Structure 1
Amino acid sequence: MSPPSANSRTLTPVIAPDPAMVARFAGDLARVFADPKAPLLIAVSGGPDSVALLLLAREVLGERCVAATVDHGLRAEAADEARWVADLCAGIGVPHAILTGALPDRDGRTRNVSARARAFRYDLLRAYAETTGAAAIATAHHADDQVETVAMRLNRGAGLSGLAGVRSGNGVVIRPLLGWRRDELAGIVKVCGITPVDDPSNRDERFERARLRAALPTATWIDPVAWTRSAAALADAEEALAWTVERLWSERCVIEEGTVSMSPAGLPFELRRRLLGRCVTEIDPDANLRGSAVAQAVMALKRGATVTLGEALCQPSLDARDEPVWRFVRARPRRSS
């Protein structure tokens, strides 16, 4: 099957993926999607990665496989590409929907187009999953994507959460291909007789990910599958820290009459940092907290200084036993000049 052209979309029979590849995928899918009855929604852009995911999922799930393509309206070709995916799905017997809508002006506090498109895409997919009864949404992120993500976050000085990279499961979103390479997935699509959609933005070096994608193949010392295992280990560590913070929140923090009090004595820096961030967002839920700012606040409070994060005023004090207590209240509105 060829990709969309200006004049036609040709549907030809699709060859099934190699049984060994299907068996491998079945094992990977079972680790992240255990529901034996509910449908699984496959997010398909038309590129080789998502088409490979679609073909593998169709073989494993049969009628429980449903698909959707999001048209962000950002490229003129996107509508034709979405219809091409619809034709492909019709040819292999997979129910498919094209999801569209108005791209929001911002995502949270950012107007970044990529962030807005990503949030928009997941919002539409989650809503459609509910209408189909799908228990999860599968995306085609793979090992090479993981390397790109971790490398970008290293360049930004990310902490543990960022270096955990793309998670195999995040709410209703699952990513069963994190142990697969980009070339493997492209090979599946080629063997099945399909020429996938080519999105030129993937090579547009105005984007950081595209620049990394072009440079990483020359770094032959990088093992993307090993990086994926390391990212998974960091994700496990992140989960353990989040669990610890949840327990410490009930043990070390008290909320009363618009004030949050935190007892930091004896806690390692990272646990103080995470608890402080949660105290601030309890006072100011809309606070846009940067990790570096929270870390600086921890050090300032330890020195006895008062700091402001978002709309929260953070004040150090001592309790009756001369143990440190950090108190968080709503800061007074700044006077206009």
Structure 2
Amino acid sequence: MQLIDPDLVERFAADLEALWPRDVRDGAALGLAVSGGPDSLALLLLAHAALPGRIAVASVDHRLRPEAAGEVALVEQVCAERKIPFAALQADVPPGNLQAQARRARYAVLGEWAQARGLGALATAHHADDQAETLLLRLNRGSGLSGLAAVRSVSLLDDNELLLLRPLLGWRKGELAEVTARAGIIAAQDPSNANRDFDRVQMRAHLANSDWLDVRALATSAAHLAEGWRAIEWYAGLDWDEMVHPDEDRPDASPGLVYYANVPRVVAIETICRIIRELGGHCTRSEAARAFDRLWRGENASLSGVLAVPGIERMQGVGVELRCWRFAPEPPRRLH
């Protein structure tokens, strides 16, 4: 087995530490999601060199393609040669948007595996080209700031408190393919990556044919947008703590919340989503945005079984009148 360029290992270690500092990881092992493609195999090789004896690998078969079992076997072989703990996982993909449902199913089984092994974090091989494609796709769909933040370098796994790390967002796809090839590994090629029925594949082709687009610069812009989004999340947390209170004036003592809305629309949308969740419902940001607009015009809004009623009230302890929106479960509908 050919050794990886020490400069690349040092670069990867620095990128990982920026996301997962040593004082946070506290000796915990890192889980890797490896598909058998050149990108994820490069992640495996770099992590093995940077954290010898402190990684574990899982590969997921979605049972959508007959070749998938062989790809899992390839990853198992690479791990066996390096004495890396390996797990072959299977995921059931429900009907619907194929790529989105496969992602949810994949992360669900990866989360269960990582928790069972007591891993400190899970890493995936998303890279700068992925980031650029995601940003352009979402710009083309008119996404809000949360969507334009694209692939986060650090997040939490869906429905899980496990850290999800993406240490390769500053790496180009070609660099990673070269790492894998220099190790003498023939990586798997997923045929869906050439299927132009998928928007991402079409965007990838356009990006490859547009010399004026700088992939690294696009990825950097997505990172800046993510920083901006984190600031909004922080501000929304402050808004929740200071401007949302239990509604103690409800005549039937049923649950309700009072929101003194005094922040920019993008922040209020996050607070409205949280209010709806707190009252047992669920809404998208688009739905919360429409509710905000109605309330701002002085109209009632209904969201996921929650009724919001606008008004102007004096906030206790502040002494000034503010927009006050009262949220409570909708009353039962009368049947005639």
Answer whether TM exceeds 0.5 for this pair.
yes
1:127-167 deviations in Å (ceiling 9; x for gaps): 21223232111100000000111111111211111111111
Aligned to 2:209: 218
Structure-1 separation of matches of 2:285 and 2:235 = 21
1:84-115 deviations in Å (ceiling 9; x for gaps): 21011111221211012433x36xxxx32222
Aligned to 1:251: 242
Aligned to 2:19: 32
Which residues in structure 2 correspond to 1:135-284 (within 5 Å)?
A: 135-171=120-156, 172-256=163-247, 257-265=254-262, 267-284=263-280
- Secondary structure of 2:51's match? helix
Aligned to 2:303: 309
Deviation at 1:54, TM superposition (A): 0.6
Structure-1 separation of matches of 2:47 and 2:264 = 45
- Secondary structure of 2:326's match? strand
Deviation at 1:59, TM superposition (A): 0.8
Aligned to 2:250: none
- Secondary structure of 2:114's match? helix
Q: Is the 8 A contact 1:289 1:309 kept in 2?
A: no
Question: What amino acid maps onto 2:326 in structure 1?
Answer: R
Question: What amino acid maps onto 1:289 in structure 2?
Answer: T
Deviation at 1:255, TM superposition (A): 2.0
- Secondary structure of 2:3's match? coil
Structure-2 separation of matches of 1:336 and 1:112 = 38
Structure-2 separation of matches of 1:157 and 1:45 = 31
Deviation at 1:33, TM superposition (A): 2.3
Structure-1 separation of matches of 2:127 and 2:334 = 51
Would the alpha carbon gap of residues 137 and 18 (structure 1) be closer, same or farther in structure 2, given more than 3 Å must change? same
Question: What amino acid maps onto 1:258 in structure 2?
Answer: P
TM-score for the superposition, normalised by structure 1: 0.88
Q: Is the 8 A contact 2:270 2:285 kept in 1?
A: no
Deviation at 1:201, TM superposition (A): 0.5
Aligned to 1:7: none
Structure-2 separation of matches of 1:37 and 1:251 = 38
Aligned to 2:284: 289
Structure-1 separation of matches of 2:322 and 2:123 = 49
Would the alpha carbon gap of residues 258 and 220 (structure 1) be closer, same or farther in structure 2, given more than 3 Å must change? same
Aligned to 2:56: 66
Structure-1 separation of matches of 2:47 and 2:322 = 57
Give me the CA root mean square deviation: 1.9
Unaligned residue ranges in structure 2 (runs of 5+): 157-162, 248-253, 315-319
Structure-2 separation of matches of 1:43 and 1:71 = 11
Identity of counterpart residues, as a percentage?
41
Question: What amino acid maps onto 1:255 in structure 2?
Answer: P
Question: What amino acid maps onto 2:87 in structure 1?
Answer: A
Aligned to 1:51: 41
Structure-1 separation of matches of 2:193 and 2:151 = 18
Deviation at 1:174, TM superposition (A): 0.5
Structure-1 separation of matches of 2:207 and 2:274 = 37
Which residues in structure 2 correspond to 1:113-124 (within 5 Å)?
A: 113-124=98-109
Would the alpha carbon gap of residues 248 and 181 (structure 1) be closer, same or farther in structure 2, given more than 3 Å must change? same
Q: Is the 8 A contact 2:276 2:283 kept in 1?
A: no
Q: Is the 8 A contact 1:289 1:310 kept in 2?
A: no
Structure-2 separation of matches of 1:36 and 1:223 = 37
